[in-house]
Amino acid sequence: MNLRPSDILTEQQVNSGLRLVVREGLVTEAMATLTGGAFLVAMALQMGASNFQIGLLAALPTFANIFQLVSIWLLQQFNNRRAIAVIASFFARFPLIIIGVLPFLFSAGTSVQVLIFLLFFHYFLGAVSGANWNSWMKDLVPQAKLGSFFSHRTRLTQIVSVSLSLMVAMMLDYIKSHFPGDEIVAYTIMFLIAGGFGMSGVYLLSRTPEPKSILTAGNLFKLIRQPLKDKNFRSLLFFNSFWSFSLNLATPFFSVYLMKSIHLSLSYVIGLNILSQVSGILFIKFWGTYADRFSNKTIIRLSAPIYVLSLFAWIFTSAPALKSFTVPFLAIIYTISGIAIAGINLAISNISLKLAPKDQAIVYIAARNTIIGLFPAIAPLLGGVLADFLTSQQFHFLFFQQWHLFFFTGAVFAALSLRFLLRVKEEGEFTKRAVVTEMRRQFRKNIIVKSSVALPGKIYRLSLWPLMRRNQNLRA
């Protein structure tokens, strides 16, 4: 297996590599779907996990990012991102297979402690792989296509996630009804299957071409200080850290709240998550197009306040006036938050790649993930402690309960974090108002085009509208 980088990649090699990146994303998403999210929460609850342990499981993926510094050291030693990513991914996904076979080796099954221990190594080695992968993608994917390519890839991976989630949720509910004693075994078999998907992703990674990287030599800790001296990148770190902390304070416990307090079945919880994903799928291309055309920062400024409002809406999910409307109201919340988070995640990822200098991409990305990984790792741990404390107290104010105070706190912090975004500067940046105006113009134009067959005379007069000047005076 040849894992050496290439000095020059032809257009054909780049296009072939991009197709492999998409295929790798599909199987990796299948792996992540079976081993994370509501399924992991349901499995942990079935094992008797406390809220703190739920928070710890939620913290592991981001906490592991702290170890991305190892990626820089490895790249300095070998200067081969593909080899590092492939080998690290192989050993990262092997613990999933171990979790899958444990019930067949030990009659007692898998405990929460063993699950946490094995998943730590999964996320730790995955973080080492991820830093190299991000730097690799920055050089492989043409910058002008970052938004459109990753929106296309994300849309396809979300379709896989939605389809697989629905099928597995129905299967788990059937097992719960007919074979209640075998639920844990079913969950661990899911890990075994996920490990198989993960290993196929490793194979696809090994076939994806890598352009040779250029990394500045020097002391590891001196290198990692370089991004912190970059005022603009430091502003991005402030925003991203505060935002991630705010979201991870409450969002990992939505599924716990729905299953314990609202008493929804796993199928309903998965169904709501699917609704959120479908909303994101439908809008990801929209966000990607406007991110390439205008700026990623503007997309964040448009979508982040929408997500903050959806967080505040959780406070009213058990209001007496909405008692018979709880599930439809939750459906609205998940739909709106899905649309918003699709734009936020895409734009934050792209702006991080965009602001990183080419010769120090992995240093910037590792610094970002290391620093940002600390805050969202602390958040669910703190959230778990608060959740255990609040749910043990008798707190009632009107229809507000312990969980509502918890969600309100997360929403307030998320709203405050948007102040840090104003300090971030992006090349080609447009004002928020200008982009909204352009979106309205495009909406009117689409209506005109779609109506032109029915009303040709009227549309002809409207087509004289001076759209030729629409791009003038838009830049910030």
The Cα-based distances of 429 to 124, 182, 424 in angstroms read: 35, 54, 10
Structural domain tally of the chain? 2
Domain's final residue, options 414, 429, 444: 429
**Domain contains 376:** yes
Which of 292-296, 385-389, 412-416, 444-448 reaches the highest mean pLDDT?
412-416
* CB 24, CB 197: distance < 8 Å: no
Alpha carbon distance 209, 140 (integer Å) = 8
pLDDT-above-70 percentage for the chain: 84
**Domain contains 357:** yes
Classify residue 339 by burial, with Cβ atoms within 10 Å: 0-12, 13-18, 19+.
buried
Nearest to 355 by CA among 398, 377, 347, 447: 347
Q: Enter the pTM of the model.
A: 0.69
The CATH number of the domain holding residue 90 is 1.20.1250.20
Q: Quote the Cα angle for 135-85-291, to 5°.
A: 35
**Domain contains 198:** yes
Nearest to 160 by CA among 328, 66, 277, 257: 277
Same domain membership, residue 171 and residue 273: yes
Confidence check: pLDDT of 216 > 80: no
**Domain contains 474:** no
Average pLDDT over residues 262-266: 84
* CB 340, CB 304: distance < 8 Å: yes
- 476 — pLDDT class (breaks 50, 70, 90): very low
The Cα-based distances of 146 to 90, 150, 347 in angstroms read: 27, 6, 10
pLDDT-above-90 percentage for the chain: 24
What pLDDT, in 10s, does the model give residues 70-123? 887 888 788 899 999 999 999 999 999 998 887 777 655 568 888 899 999 999
Alpha carbon distance 324, 254 (integer Å) = 20
Exposure letters 439-476 (e unless 16+ CB within 10 A, then b): eeeeeeeeebeeeeeeeeeebeeeeeeeeeeeeeeeeb
The domain of 452 spans 435-469
Token pair for 281: 């799928």
**Domain contains 79:** yes
**Which value, to the nearest 10 degrees, does the dihedral of the CA atoms of residues 419, 423, 426, 430 take?**
60
**Domain contains 180:** yes
**Domain contains 3:** no
Same domain membership, residue 383 and residue 455: no
Same domain membership, residue 344 and residue 398: yes
What pLDDT, in 10s, does the model give residues 331-362? 999 999 999 999 998 888 888 878 887 767 77
Same domain membership, residue 364 and residue 452: no
Nearest to 112 by CA among 196, 189, 184, 44: 44
pLDDT of residue 285: 83
What pLDDT, in 10s, does the model give residues 129-163? 988 898 888 889 887 787 788 888 988 998 899 89
Same domain membership, residue 213 and residue 137: yes
pLDDT of residue 462: 38
- 27 — pLDDT class (breaks 50, 70, 90): very high
In eight-state DSSP terms, residue 9 is: -
